[in-house]
Structures are given as C-alpha cells and as structure tokens.
C-alpha cells in the first residue's frame, strides 16, 4: 500500500469525509492486508473500515464471491466478522490437510478421522468453499492437499445428503417429489459432481419448454402451453395424447435421447445428471425424465416396477382404474413406445401376475435404483466397484434400516476392505438386536473384527527402501516415473517397488509370473494405471513412456505432490519410504528426455 499522510497541518487522509474514505478503501487495488494496515494506523480509519460494512463486504466479495449466495441481500451483516471467520476457517482447514497425509498415508481415512473438521464449528459453506478453492488450484500442483480435500468434501457432502434423504423419506409418499429423491441418490454417489436439484430441474424445464414450442406449432391453443407445473392434470385423453406425441418428438427425434443398449451396465446410466448430459440411460432413469416432463405438461404417468424393464403407465379412464387393461404402458427406453399389458410380457419373454402392473411409490423407485447400483457394484472387484457397493449399501440401509441380509453384506464388505472396523462392530450389534438367531455368524465376525482392530492398533514402522542396499541393486526404475507396459500397453506411474515378487503362489500362477523370462526373481513395481486400477508389474514389462502424461488415477495425490510435466514428485511421506528415489528419478528423466 502506498504511503499516505494520515494527518497533518494541511489535512490528511483522516480529514476526508467517511463516505469518501469508504470508497477509497473499496478500491480494487487494495488487498485485505492493505485494509488491515490502514486500520492499525489510527482509530478514525479503524472505525471507517470496521464500523461500515461496505469495505469488508467488498473484500469478502472479491476473495470469496461464490459465498454471497448464502446471505440475504436485504439483511444486515457484520462483514468484518464474516471475513475473519472465513479467513480463520481457511487457515485451519489447510493446517488439518497438512496432518492428514502423515496420519493416513498407509491406511484409509476412518470415519473418526474427520472429527477435527467437524469440530471447526464454522458454517459448513465456509469449510466447503475452502476445500473447493484448493481443488481449483493449479492443476498440476498441491496434489496431496487436493487428494485429502476431495475425501473430506465427499464425507461432508455425503453426510449432508444422507440427512436430506432421511427427511425426504419421512414425507408422506403422496407428497414426495420423485425427482428430488432420484437427485439425492445421484448426489450421494457423485458428491463432487455438478448435480444440484436446481440444475437438474432447470434442464428438465428447458426440455418442457421445447415440448411447448412443438405443441404451439401443432396445437396452438393446447392447455399445456400455459401450464405452470403446479400438478394440475389434463382430463381429456386426446389432449394428453398430443402431449405425449410432442414429448416423443422432442426427446427422441430432436434431442436424440435413447436407451444405452451398447453400455447398459455402466453405472453412469443410473445417475440422472449423466443421463441428461449423455442423453443415454436405462429404463428407470429415462422413465423418471419422461414422467417428470409429462407432469410438467399436465399428463399423469405412474411408475411401474416391471420385472427387468421399468415402465410408466397412462390411464385411459378419466376417473382412474384398478384394471390393468385400462392402462397404456409406455417404454421410455424404446422411444416412448406405447404397449398393452400383453405386449409388456412379450418385452421380457415371460408371463407375470397383475401385481407387477401396479404403480409404485417414489420410495419403491429409489429401492429399485439402489438395488441396480448394488448389483453393478458386485460385477467387478475394482476400487471403483467397492466404492459403488459402499454407497449402494449406505443408501439401501437408509431405505430399509433393519434388512439383516444387507446389514450383513455391509459388515462383510467393510471387514473385507479393512476400513472402519469400529463401524463393523456397530453393524453386527444392530443385526443381533434385529435378529437374535444370527448370533453364531455375528459372534464369529465380531471375533475376527476385534483381531483386525488389534492389528490396526499395532504401530508398524514404515519400511525404508534404499537403492544403495545390496538386495536392491537390480532396481532400474524409481517412484514418480511415467511408464508404459510393454505387453498390455497401459500408461502408469510407479509409486512403490520390491526387489522381487512378494505376492502369493496363487496370484503368481494366475498372472503367469513363472512364464516370464526372469520369473518372480526380478524387481516388481506398484503402479497406478490410467484406467483407475492399481497393478503389480514386472520390471521386464515396463519401459519409460515416450511422451509422459498425467495419470488420471484418484490415488495419485496420496503419493505425489506435483506433476512436473515429465514425472511425478513424491510427497514427504513417499520420500521418507524411498529416500533415494527423488534423485534417481531426476537423473533418469534427464537421461531419457534430455531435461530434469
């Protein structure tokens, strides 16, 4: 800040009117540090800066513009206090991030690992804003901070979303808005995505407006054109049919929505924000979109949880009906094709009883969606599928807290992954309370879990590996190098190594290790692969990448702090484990690529 005369014989800064001083301190060239310095100069300037809200509101808006949406524009706020609180929380969050890598480098962050963040006590939006600002920093730097920021943000958002879902389920089913529940499922599984309810409704309303444009051309005075989306339904069947025809034209011909037959089992098909973006989905998500737009236009379309193929039904009787033959069944997966009850049986190739044609509640729809996600998570054994399984089980047990089968699956999953053993004990206790007959299975798993907790509490020193050790003389590569697999062609980064294969005989037989020219008695490397997997690769199968690239693996930040353009730089914890590798990586990069 330039030096300015505060007071003197000829008058100074303090002699100016307070309104003018306020405008001066709102100058874009002044930072918050400059304003604080001015406050320390004299009482008059302190009163101007801190006594008036405009100065610190200006600084708050400049530094954290996205937070203004949380303030009532008509209200009065102490912006100096708000600024100090937000600044303080930011510093505390950064301090905590520095400790996370030291605490949890060798293990998953447990639920109680987030207790310090929860104890901050400030507004959740301040904590969230600081975490988001870290995630938006220079893309190649602060990778470890970003890794733990993402974990903390996911935890906090999922906790908040789960509370909203519980409140949604407490609402009587006739007052539940299906799209709200579907968005909550999406948000819980994708807590960092741009999938707010407001954004989803905006997109659905935009499609609704496109349908109205078509109706205006084909039926100028159609009542749906002026509909205000207030649950007022049209009685006349012919008028409803005109809406459905216009919807099919917009959705399937104009916007090109379709069933994703090519990649049916991709979890993305179950998330409403992805279906709206990609315009591809499975029957249930396409039915949710179709019925929501129909509701906006005055056509009542009820969800039908038909076996293997979710449908909607459209009643042909103005007063409603319990006869399944009085309904047309709409297949949103197949361009909105209308079908009779008999044709629906041909769709799945089997006869079903009349109960499968009944409409279901929003909660039933959510059950079906979550069950789909659960089965998708069981299809593979990757880290992503385990996370999907965890999310699906959390959601299912929120919908049905006392389902012993799913409670046991959750307990076994957490035990298998070796995370949150204390939560496993809580789950097992709940199972015992709900169904005492499970005491045998529960008792066995309790014993195994207690042993797991005892092992976890044993402090195991980090194994330091040096290239100078005689047993490591065959090691040719080092952590941080970008590699390509000679046989399978995948791109990866090294985050660990062993002088020889340390896996069991069954794994070596499955992977054909003994068929390699150098067999298991050669260095093996832990690598993070571009496809999201973690693999264990033999040295003879790896080669330095001709064109180094960033590896899009979510665990990169756990081990590395920065991507230099040619290699990754190990964070402090990984450097402690491999103290010689930083220098060797730099030397090899200079040798292979001509620069460090």
Which secondary structure element, helix H or strand E, spans residue 534, and what is its range?
strand 534-538
**Domain range spanning residue 204?**
178-366
pLDDT given at position 1: 46
Domain boundary among 334, 366, 398: 366
Q: In the structure, what pLDDT confidence band is assigned to residue 383 with cuts at 50, 70 and 90?
A: low
pLDDT tops 80 at residue 207: yes
What is the pLDDT averaged over residues 439-450? 92
225 shares its domain with 352: yes
Q: Around Cβ 302, how many Cβ atoms within 10 Å?
A: 15
Domain boundary among 147, 170, 193: 170
Q: What stretches of 417-523 adopt beta strand conformation (E)?
A: 482-485, 491-498
Report d(CA 499, CA 484) in Å as an integer. Answer: 20
Please tell me the least confidently modeled range out of 172-176, 251-255, 454-458. 454-458
- Residue 422 within any structural domain of the chain: no
476 shares its domain with 526: yes
pLDDT digits (tens, 9 = 90+) for 349-359: 888 888 999 99
Please tell me the least confidently modeled range out of 29-33, 79-83, 236-240. 29-33
Distances (CA, A) of 445 to 56, 448, 453: 57, 5, 12
Report d(CA 326, CA 314) in Å as an integer. Answer: 9
Eight-state DSSP code of residue 252: I
Closest C-alpha to 576, from 176, 93, 105: 105
pLDDT tops 60 at residue 2: no
- Residue 444 within any structural domain of the chain: no
Q: What mean pLDDT value characterizes the chain?
A: 90
Say which CATH number the domain at 557 has.
2.30.30.390
Between these two residues, 501 and 30, which has the higher pLDDT value? 501
322 shares its domain with 253: yes
Q: Around Cβ 467, how many Cβ atoms within 10 Å?
A: 16
- Residue 131 within any structural domain of the chain: yes
Beta-strand pair 280-281/258-259: parallel
199 shares its domain with 161: no
113 shares its domain with 212: no
Distances (CA, A) of 15 to 8, 249, 530: 9, 71, 64
Residue 485's beta-bridge partner residues? 542
282 shares its domain with 317: yes
197 shares its domain with 163: no
497 shares its domain with 513: yes
- Residue 77 within any structural domain of the chain: no
pLDDT more than 90, % of the chain: 68
What is the pLDDT averaged over residues 271-288? 97
Please tell me the least confidently modeled range out of 15-29, 187-201, 279-293, 493-507. 15-29
pLDDT given at position 430: 94
Q: Which residues of 251-280 are buried (b: 16+ CB within 10 A; e: fewer)?
A: bbeeeebbbbeeeeebbbbbbbbbbbebbb
Q: What is the signed CA dihedral for 166, 167, 170, 173, rounded to 10 degrees?
A: -100
- Residue 373 within any structural domain of the chain: no
Report d(CA 230, CA 158) in Å as an integer. Answer: 31
- Residue 498 within any structural domain of the chain: yes
Q: What is the CA radius of gyration of the chain?
A: 30
Total of domains in the chain: 3
What is the pLDDT averaged over residues 116-135? 88
pLDDT given at position 591: 93
Please answer whether residues 102 and 573 qualify as being in contact, where contact means their C-beta atoms are separated by less than 8 angstroms: yes
- Residue 493 within any structural domain of the chain: yes
210 shares its domain with 280: yes
- Residue 57 within any structural domain of the chain: no
188 shares its domain with 163: no
Please answer whether residues 294 and 248 qualify as being in contact, where contact means their C-beta atoms are separated by less than 8 angstroms: no
Q: Around Cβ 468, how many Cβ atoms within 10 Å?
A: 8
Domain boundary among 170, 193, 213: 170
163 shares its domain with 189: no
What is the pLDDT averaged over residues 32-43? 77
286 shares its domain with 329: yes
């Amino acid at each position: 800040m330039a030096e300015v005369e505060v007071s003197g014989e000829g008058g100074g800064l303090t002699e100016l009117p307070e309104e003018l001083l306020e405008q001066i301190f709102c100058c874009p060239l002044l930072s918050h540090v400059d304003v604080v310095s001015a406050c320390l100069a004299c009482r008059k300037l302190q009163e101007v800066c801190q006594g008036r809200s405009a100065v610190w509101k200006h600084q708050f808006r400049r530094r954290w513009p996205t937070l203004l949406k949380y303030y009532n524009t008509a209200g009065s706020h102490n912006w100096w206090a708000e600024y100090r609180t937000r600044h303080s929380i930011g510093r505390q969050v950064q301090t905590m991030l520095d400790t996370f890598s030291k605490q949890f480098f060798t293990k998953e962050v447990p639920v109680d690992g987030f207790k310090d963040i929860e104890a901050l006590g400030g507004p959740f939006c301040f904590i969230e804003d600081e975490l988001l600002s870290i995630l938006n920093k220079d893309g190649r730097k602060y990778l470890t901070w970003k890794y733990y920021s993402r974990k903390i943000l996911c935890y906090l958002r999922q906790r908040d979303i789960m509370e909203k879902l519980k409140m949604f389920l407490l609402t009587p089913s006739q007052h539940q808005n299906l799209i709200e529940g579907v968005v909550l499922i999406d948000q819980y599984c994708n807590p960092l995505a741009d999938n707010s309810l407001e954004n989803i409704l905006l997109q659905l309303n935009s499609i609704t407006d496109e349908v109205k444009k078509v109706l205006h051309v084909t039926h100028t005075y159609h009542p749906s054109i002026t509909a205000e989306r207030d649950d007022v339904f049209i009685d006349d069947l012919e008028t409803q049919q005109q809406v459905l025809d216009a919807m099919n034209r917009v959705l399937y011909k104009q916007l090109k929505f379709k069933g994703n037959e090519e990649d049916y089992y991709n979890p993305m098909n179950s998330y409403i924000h992805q279906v709206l973006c990609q315009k591809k989905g499975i029957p249930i998500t396409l039915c949710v979109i179709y019925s929501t737009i129909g509701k906006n236009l005055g056509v009542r379309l009820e969800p039908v949880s038909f076996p293997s193929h979710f449908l909607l039904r459209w009643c042909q009787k103005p007063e409603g009906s319990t006869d399944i033959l009085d309904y047309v069944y709409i297949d949103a997966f197949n361009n909105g094709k209308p079908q009779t009850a008999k044709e629906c049986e041909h769709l799945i190739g089997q006869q079903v009883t009349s109960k499968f044609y009944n409409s279901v509640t929003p909660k039933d729809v959510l059950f079906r969606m979550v069950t789909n996600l659960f089965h998708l998570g069981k299809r593979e054994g990757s880290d992503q599928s385990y996370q999907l399984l965890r999310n699906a089980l959390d959601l299912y047990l929120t919908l049905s807290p006392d389902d012993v089968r799913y409670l046991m699956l959750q307990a076994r999953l957490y035990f298998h992954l070796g995370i949150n053993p204390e939560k496993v004990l809580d789950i097992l206790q709940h199972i015992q309370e709900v169904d005492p007959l499970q005491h045998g299975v529960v008792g066995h798993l309790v014993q195994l879990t207690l042993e797991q907790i005892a092992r976890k509490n044993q402090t195991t020193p980090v194994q330091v590996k040096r290239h100078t050790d005689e047993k490591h003389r065959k090691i040719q590569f080092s952590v941080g190098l970008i590699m390509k697999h000679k046989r399978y062609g995948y791109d990866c980064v090294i985050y660990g190594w062993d002088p020889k294969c340390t896996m069991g005989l069954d794994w070596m037989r499955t992977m054909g290790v003994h068929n390699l020219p150098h067999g298991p008695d050669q260095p093996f490397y832990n690598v993070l692969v571009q496809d999201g997997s973690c693999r264990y690769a033999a040295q003879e199968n790896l080669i330095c990448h001709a064109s180094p690239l960033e590896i899009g693996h979510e665990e990169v930040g756990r081990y590395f702090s920065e991507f230099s353009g040619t290699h990754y730089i190990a964070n402090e914890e990984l450097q402690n484990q491999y103290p010689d590798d930083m220098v060797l990586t730099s030397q090899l990069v200079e040798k292979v690529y001509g620069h460090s």
